């Protein structure tokens, strides 16, 4: 029974111990960048069908693809866990929309014993192609 309890505790705490070794990190593991993707013409969620690439310099650090829900609705956010502290460029493409690009997206480190990120939120308003 003790082994089962220990195994369960390990599984439950794994997400918050990842960056800290054996230390407990109350903030858990935070994504570096969360991108809210909307249609600029009506404000509707527009991440479904969109592809985001996150660059550090000329290197692609992460590539994200939005999905559609079971009712055909679009996701609202694209979430990157691959981005640590640094400065990034985001490029988002979706059929029927102009390419969105934003330079100078800064992710800061959380500091302390756990390290990790302070999540940076970006709002991307995609302009429909005329």
Give the Cα-Cα-Cα angle 41, 71, 94 (nearest 5 degrees): 40
Amino acid 67: pLDDT:
87
**pLDDT (mean) for 41-45:** 94
List the chain domain ranges: 2-126
Per-residue model confidence as pLDDT tens digits over 97-128? 999 999 999 999 887 766 678 899 999 999 99
The CATH label, of 2.60.40.1120, 2.30.30.90, 3.30.465.10, 3.30.420.40, for the domain at 2-126 is 2.60.40.1120
The predicted pLDDT at position 22 comes to 52
90, 58 contact by CB (below 8 A): no
Check residue 6 and give its pLDDT.
Answer: 43
68 within 8 A of 107, measured Cβ to Cβ: no
- pLDDT of res. 75: 87
- Label residue 24 by pLDDT band (50, 70, 90): low
Q: Residue 43: is its pLDDT beyond 60?
A: yes
């Amino acid at each position: 029974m003790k082994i089962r309890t220990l195994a369960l505790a390990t599984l439950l705490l794994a997400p918050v111990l990842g960056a800290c070794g054996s230390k407990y990190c109350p903030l858990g593991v935070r994504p570096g960048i969360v991108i809210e993707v909307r249609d600029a013409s009506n404000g509707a969620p527009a991440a479904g069908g969109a592809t985001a690439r996150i660059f550090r310099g000329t290197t692609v650090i992460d590539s994200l693809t939005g999905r559609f829900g079971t009712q055909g609705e679009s996701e609202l956010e694209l979430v990157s866990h691959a981005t640590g502290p640094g400065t990034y460029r985001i490029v988002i493409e979706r059929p029927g929309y102009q390419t969105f690009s934003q330079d100078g997206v800064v992710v800061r480190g959380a500091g302390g014993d756990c390290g990790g990120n302070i999540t940076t939120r970006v709002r991307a308003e995609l302009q429909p192609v005329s």
